[in-house]
Every structure is written in structure tokens, then in C-alpha cells.
Amino acid sequence: MTSDDPDLVGRAREGDQVAFARLFEQYHAPILNYLHRMVGDRAMAEDLTQDTFIKAYNALPSTRPDLAFKPWLYRIATNTAISQLRRRKIVQWIPFLPGHDHASDQSVERSVSRKQDIEQTLSRLPQHYAAALLLRHYQGLSLAETADALGVTENAAKLRLFRARKAFAEVYGTAEPLGVPGEWEAKG
Amino acid sequence: MISHDRAQQLISARMDAPLISGEHHELHGHLATCESCRAFVTSADDLARGLQVLPRLAPSPAVSRAVMAAVRTESSGWDWLRQGLQALSSPGMAVASGLALVVALAGAMIVALTVPGGGDGTGADPEGSIAAVTDAPLPTAIPTEIPAPEPTASRVAERTISAPPTQTPKETPPRPTATRVPAAAIAAPTAVQVENAPIEPATVAQPLIEAAAEQPALALAPDDGAAAPPADLAQAVDEPAPSDEVAAAPELAPEAAVAAEPAPAETAPESNDNGRRGDGSRKNNNDGQVAPADAAVAPVATEPLPVPDEAIAALENAGASPNDLTLPPAPVLPMPPSQAFLPITPTPVTDGTPTPETVTQAEAPQLADEWSGELAVTALMPEAPDATIVESEEITAREKRDKSSKEGKSNENQQSATNDGAMGWSMSAIELPQDAVSFQTTDDAAATVTPADTSAVATTDTAATDTTTATDTTIDDASAVDPAPQYDPVTGYQIDATTGLLIDPVNGYLLDLVNGLVYHPGTGYQVHPFTGLLIDPVTGAQLDPVTLAIVIPAGFGSDQPAYLPGDDAMRGLIEASVDETYDNATYKVIPPTDGPVQPVGEIVVPTTSGDALEIID
């Protein structure tokens, strides 16, 4: 949280649209990216980002003056994302788009970067684990902020992070690297 | 020596906070001898570093516009009403209301004691009662004890709309207003002046508490003051009320009074309204600065605050609350008849691969022979085209496909066939045994996808492993009858006689090196370059190469394009739900509704255990 936050939050709580706009500018991209990693779909992440800020705007007047805005906003985003993930309908199939030649990108096909492995592994984790890891490492929240954003105590957040890292390590260590069909089959 | 679990807890904890010295030594001692925990360290560090460097999206202008538009809408719509209700429920206002109630009750008692016939229920002359009340001494200390004013402007507007202005019992003096104070008690020269003149801002901004103290009679409105809600009394104490029109026409409807109000925005007090204007809109800190310099000079009118136009408009448009920002889901677009498709189950596209015409009904359907029993899954059942069934457009498409096939445009053919719906194959539901319900997991499937196994499931690895054996009734047997197999001089791979594609010697897949595509020989489906699964050209679903079961790709949850109803590139829908613990997911495959499709059934898969699906129904 920047030094401007308390003042901005206070003014936004009193209905200052300019102050809220400043807060929105400050947290728009982080929240969007966080939600993007949570739901894995940019369009959906944008929708959820919009929902998050509108919810925050509506709820601000009823918050306490000592509100920690940043973790509070992330908590709204997390709850919004998880609620959406519970009821969303998505297509999980990689489309076969005409004119889009998947196999032409040989570099992608043959060498899977660590980044992709991490993204993929993260996508396989339960959402509450992924949320904890993303808040802590991707968004750079402190342990206290992460706990606040998750709505749990610091000890509970520490335990959740431990379990999330363990789950990540298990999936990460055993994940099937994405490769060409021949490689995929050869694993059998 | 600490346990693995303890060591891993420390490994995790050190990423959140420094370890104490003892823990540090314990962990190092353990790591020196434990390879698995060292691997955990590596994994955790990879995770932390990897997440930090993941690409980030730029802010979305569309989101910015939408949010700020929503904020503006929220402010100008019903927000003022909500804030007014919040103000009513505030503790300060509750105290003020209670005090006002005490004042009203005390006044009523005084009236009952001092006015002849008052309170006897005989319906004595109300005018006389009012006059008596206005002459009676009143507890002047009461108004000054009212606590600091709470945000009331929005509440005033609300009350103004819902209640007639005659309910304001206080501010007696200077002007005869809807309180129907006797003329003798009024004696206010401003009343006449204001009647036809615009309101002076200074008059509006007068501190009401002072006025109330000077004119304590305002707390006693014999006719209707006692019936007025205490909250109104308390509110009226701190609300300025520039009412000129009401003074001239006490029975004027609130709406009319509002319409006649010259400048409501300027009359809003700068009191402690908690940042809200009288219309409830959120204000900037820079506006609405009206100095109450002449407050003590100018008497205060008793009419309620004017209602802003937007508030009136909001009420008039009630039922279309701006809070409802959720758009209804987009309707599913109907599929054009020309794009009608076959069931969701695998529908082979044979362009670029051995065509159905080369396979007879008895030759191909090994899968169908193996799968029988009760299951709502249709399986591959190739059959020869029936001229009596195939539509004319399918014939046209097939001709187009054959023509393209001759030109070697395998990929284009596949797409063309998909788009035109000219499969040349048809699907029929078969009865599958119950034990076939449980399909392999991805890992299991991967473990079984070997050249030897694929040969047992209607695929043709024989071309790669034993091209001289033509006993299998597979599609590639068409190439086996070729007396002289051709080989690519560059790669050394055998060339499939039917398609002209190379045959991968490892797995028998057909390689289209020109387009960089790989095809499954048994089905003709393209092999997904990332997952190794087969792509159903009709539904877009990815299928296990052995069981042909629909498989959730490994990239579940990753960045996938949105589903486009009616888009041939993506057909079908998976409805996902997760249980409360997020440990298990249930996927319900929903085929498109615009074609002759067969339901696949409900699928349950543990979220963390793999990708393959188990069809339970």
C-alpha cells in the first residue's frame, strides 16, 4: 500500500470519485493480472475485475476507517473469482481454429519452458491454493496481507501456503511435460 | 533429525519469514541428507521465482471505462437513497431522534395542560390550539443539545418525496409555511418577499440549531407534529429548508415544489453531510462550499429541501435500478442448418487420410465391436455412405473434399469437411458395457499408448512395424496392399499410399511435414501438438487416442478462448463445478443444442489427479 492510500481511501469512502479513480488506476492492473491467473481467461478476468471494483466502490462507505485497502480489495477479487469458478461454464477444449497452425510453432512444441510448466501446474491446483500462491508470490503481498486477503489468520495463511507449495511441488515434479505426440507416447 | 514434513514446513516458512537460528540449522542438517526435501526446495524456489516473472497484462481500457461509468451511475442513481437510509440508522441520528421524541412528548404534555380543551379528544378548535401552543413556553434548551448533525441531506430529500411538507413542525417564526402557524406568530417580513423571489443562499445556509433555539415553538406542532416521526424532527433541526413555494402554497405537492425550486444545488448546506449531496450523489471536496455567514440573520424557512432532478428521475424510473449491473447471459445462437453436425462423439474426418470409401462396414468398426452395453456415449461406427441418406450438400462437400484430397490439401480438406458437414461417416450410438464406463486416466492412457497397443485398437502401426503383414483390417491396410511401399528419401519414412503422408515409424502417426500436422491413422483426426490427444473435428473435443474418451486437456484452467456458440472451431461446452473443498470437480459435457447430438454424460474428475475423465453415466 502506498502512502497515498489512506488519504485516497478516506476520500473515496466519503464519495470522492476522483479518489476512487486514483485507487482504481493504482490497482487495476494488479487485480486484473491476479484474476487472470486465477481464472485463466482474459475476458473473464476483465469482467471479474470490473465486478471487483464496483463491489469495492459500493462497499467502501460502510468500511472502517482503518481499512487496509489493498488486502481488502484482493479479498473481494478472490471471492469474486472463486464464486465465478464455481459456476462458470467454460470450454476446456483447445480449439481447432481454421488457419491456426499449432504445429508450426516448433519451438513451442518441442521445448516447454519453465514458465509454461509453472503456469500449467498452477492451473491444476485447487483454487484456494492457487490464490494463496498468487497473492504471495505473483502479487507480492506480505504474509499478513495475504492472510488478510484470504480472510484467514497469519498462521492459517502460513499453513495454506505450505500446503499449496507442497501440492505445487507434487504436481510440478510429476507433471507431464507438454511435448510432441511422440514424446507423449514414449512416456508410456 | 527432523522429519520430512517438518523440514518442508521450514522450507516453506523460510519463504515467508526468516528462520530462527535453531530452525535454520535443523533444516540444513536435514537437507544435507534428504534428496526429496532438496527437490522440494528447488520446486518452491522455482515457484516463487517463476511466479514473479510471469507475464502481466496491461490495464484494460474497456474495464476502466466500464468501472468509471458504473461508478458514475451508482452515484447518480439510487445511491442517495441508500446513503439516506444509512444516515437514518447511524447512532448519532438515533440519539437525535430520541431527543426530538422527548421534546415532542414534552410539548404535547404542555399543550394538554395549558390549552383549554386540549387533549380531551373533543376536537377543539385546532387554530386555537395552535395559537395556544405557539404562545406557550417551550424547552428552548433542547435543540441546542442535539448532537452533531449526521448526514441528513439525502434523507431530507427522501422524506420530501414521501411525505407532505406540512410535517415540519419547527422553525416557526419568520415565515408562515406548511406548518400553518398562526399569522400572529409568524410576523415574518421575509415570507412575502421570498414568495416571488429566488432564494438567497445565505438564507439557506443558516444554522438551524440557532433558529430553533430562538423559536422554540417549532418543536410543537399541535396538529401533526406529534404524529411526525421523531427522526423527522431531529432531521429538521439540522436541515436548511429554502421553501418559498411552500410558503405560498402549503398544500403544494412535493413534486410541484421541487419543480418550482430554482436552484437546489446551491442550497445544499455544507454541513457535515459525510460527503454526500442532498441528492445523495457523491461529491468532490471542492464543491458545495456555501458559507453560512448570514445564518444568524436570515430566518430559516420550514419547507423541506428541494429534491434534485436526478433524484426525481431516479424515482420515476424506479424498477430500473442502476445497481443491477449484471447483464443477462448471451443467448446461444442457433446453428445454421448448413452447419448441422453429427453427434459429439468422435466423427472421423477422412480427408487427407484413408477415406471411408476404402473401408467397408465390416472392416473398420473394431471399437464398436469392443464397446457394447449401456452407456450414453456414442462411439465410432464408421459406415459406408448411404446415398439415400446423405444430403445433396454432403455429396457436394464430399466431391469438394475428394478434389482437394487429390490436390494434397489435407488440412484444408479437414476444415472444409468440418465446415460443410460432409463427413462421409456417420455416427450411431452403441451399447457399451458398464465396465467401459471407467476410462483410463491420462497417465494410464499414456502408459498404454504404445505401438503395440494401438494396433489392437483399430490403429495402424503395422505400416511402421510390419508393412508386409496385411492381416489387420485397418485403414492403413490400404497401403499394405501396395506391392511397393514408397519411402521418403529425406527422412526414410514410409509414405502412406493413400494420403501421401509420411508414417511415423515410432507410433504410426501420419506426418504432414508441409503443414506441420500430425494425424492419427485410425481415425484420421489431427493429433493435438501439445497434448497428444486427438481432436474431434466436429466438436473440438480432445480424445484419448486409445479409448477415444473425451479428455480434459492438460491446460485446464489456462488461457483458453471463450466459447463461441455456433462456431465450428469450438463445439460443445463443459459445465464445471467444484465442490466445497475444491478437491474435486464435476464436469458435465453439454453438446451443442443445434444438432442431432447425443448426451455424453456427467464426468467427475479429481482436480489434482489428472486429466482423463471418468464417465459415470
Instruction: Report the CATH number at residue A153.
Output: 1.10.10.10
Q: How far apart are the CA of B33 and the nearest CA of chain A, in angstroms?
A: 19
pLDDT in tens, A19-29: 999 999 999 99
C-alpha to C-alpha distance for B43 and A165, rounded to whole angstroms: 8
Residues A122 and A177 both lie in one domain: yes
Strand partners, B535: B526, B542
Residue A98 lies in a domain: no
Residues A13 and A69 grouped into a single domain: yes
Q: How many CB pairs under 8 A join A and B?
A: 297
- Integer Cα distance of B443 and A154 in angstroms: 37
Residue A81 forms part of a structural domain: yes
Quickly list H helices, A42-175. 42-59, 69-87, 106-110, 114-124, 127-133, 143-150, 154-174
Which pLDDT belongs to residue A134? Answer: 92
Q: What pLDDT is recorded for position B144?
A: 38
Which residue range forms the structural domain that includes residue A35?
A: 1-88
Tell me the pLDDT band of B115, cut-offs 50, 70 and 90.
low
Farthest-apart Cα atoms in chain A, separation? 63
Contacting residues of B for A183, CB less than 8 Å apart: 532
Distances (CA, A) of B62 to B57, B68, B70, B320, B443: 13, 10, 12, 23, 42
Q: Is residue A126 part of a domain?
A: yes
Contact assignment for B72 to A17 by CB distance below 8 Å: yes
Biggest CA-to-CA distance, chain B: 128
Query: Residue B380, Cβ neighbours under 10 Å: how many?
Result: 23
Phi-psi region of B21 (alpha: psi -120 to 50; beta: other; left: phi over 0): alpha
The answer to whether the Cβ–Cβ distance between A41 and B58 falls below 8 Å is: no
Element spanning B577, H or E = strand B573-578
Burial of B457 (0-12, 13-18, 19+ CB in 10 A): middle
Distances (CA, A) of B4 to A160, B10, B279, B305: 17, 10, 64, 72
B45: three-class secondary structure by DSSP: helix
With respect to residue A105, please indicate whether it lies within any of the assigned structural domains.
no
For residue A179, the tally of other CB atoms under 10 A from its CB is 19
Per-residue confidence (pLDDT) for residue B223, from 0 to 100: 39
Are A166 and B40 in contact by the 8 Å Cβ rule? The answer is yes
Contacting residues of B for A14, CB less than 8 Å apart: 274-275, 282
Give one word for B547, left, alpha or beta, with left for phi > 0 and alpha for psi -120 to 50: alpha
- Shared domain for A82 and A150, answered yes or no, is no
Mean pLDDT for A157-172 is 88
Q: What is the pLDDT of residue B577?
A: 53
pLDDT band at B91 (very low <50, low <70, confident <90, very high): low
Q: Which three cell numbers stand for residue B98?
A: 430520541
User: Are the C-beta atoms of residues B573 and B590 closer than 8 Å to each other?
Assistant: yes
Amino acid at residue number B252: L
Give pLDDT tens digits for B21-37: 888 888 888 888 888 88
The verdict on residue A41 lying in a domain is: yes
Q: Is residue A101 part of a domain?
A: no
The pLDDT value given to residue B531: 60
Residue B414 pLDDT more than 50? no
Chain A interface, mutation test: which of B57, B442, B454, B573, most A Cβ atoms within 10 Å? B57
Q: What would the pLDDT profile of B313-333 be if each residue is shown by its tens digit? A: 554 554 444 343 333 343 333
Quote the pLDDT of residue B266.
Answer: 35
Annotated domain spans of chain B:
4-49, 75-316, 350-429
- Domain tally for chain A? 2
Length of chain B: 617
Average pLDDT over residues B510-525: 85
Q: Taking phi first (over 0 means left), then psi (-120 to 50 degrees means alpha), and beta for anything else, what does residue B548 get?
A: left
The predicted-structure confidence for B436-466, as pLDDT tens digits, reads as follows 333 333 333 333 333 333 333 333 333 333 4
Query: Stretch B8-20: mean pLDDT, rounded?
Result: 87
The contacts of residue B260 (CB under 8 Å, 6+ apart) are B245, B252
> Using a CB-CB distance cutoff of 8 angstroms, which residues of chain B are in contact with residue A109?
529-530
- The DSSP H or E segment spanning B164 is none
Select the residue from A92, A118, A141 to test the B interface by mutation, using most B Cβ atoms within 10 A: A92
Residues A63 and A123 in one domain: no
The answer to whether the Cβ–Cβ distance between A20 and B71 falls below 8 Å is yes
pLDDT band at A119 (very low <50, low <70, confident <90, very high): confident
Q: Do B475 and B522 touch, CB atoms closer than 8 A?
A: yes
Res A47 pLDDT > 80? yes
Whether the CB of B561 is below 8 Å from some CB of chain A: the reply is yes
pLDDT digits (tens, 9 = 90+) for B351-396: 433 433 333 333 333 333 333 333 333 223 333 334 333 444 444 5
* Number of CB atoms found within 10 A of residue A117's CB: 17
B574: nearest Cα among A86, A96, A85, A89: A89
Task: Count Cα atoms within 13 angstroms, Cβ side, for B173.
Answer: 14
Query: Which pLDDT band, with edges at 50, 70 and 90, does B539 fall under?
Result: low
Contacting B residues, span 263-282, partner chain A, CB-CB under 8 Å? 274-276, 281-282
Residue A37 included in any domain: yes
Average pLDDT, chain B: 50
- Write down the ipTM of this complex: 0.73
Burial B16-55 (b: 16+ CB within 10 A, else e): beeeeeebeebbeebbeebeebeebbebbebbeebbeebe
Separation CA B353–CA B460 (nearest Å): 12
C-alpha cell recorded at residue B391: 444430403
pLDDT computed for residue A27 by the predictor? 92
Among B613, B538, B546, which residue's Cα sits nearest to residue B576? B613
What was the pLDDT predicted at B521? 85
Distance (Å) from the C-alpha of residue A92 to the closest C-alpha of chain B? 6
State the pLDDT at residue A136.
92
Whether residue A132 sits in one domain with residue A80 = no
What is the mean pLDDT of the segment spanning B531-552?
66
415-454 in B: which are within 8 Å (CB) of A?
415, 418-419, 442-443, 446-450
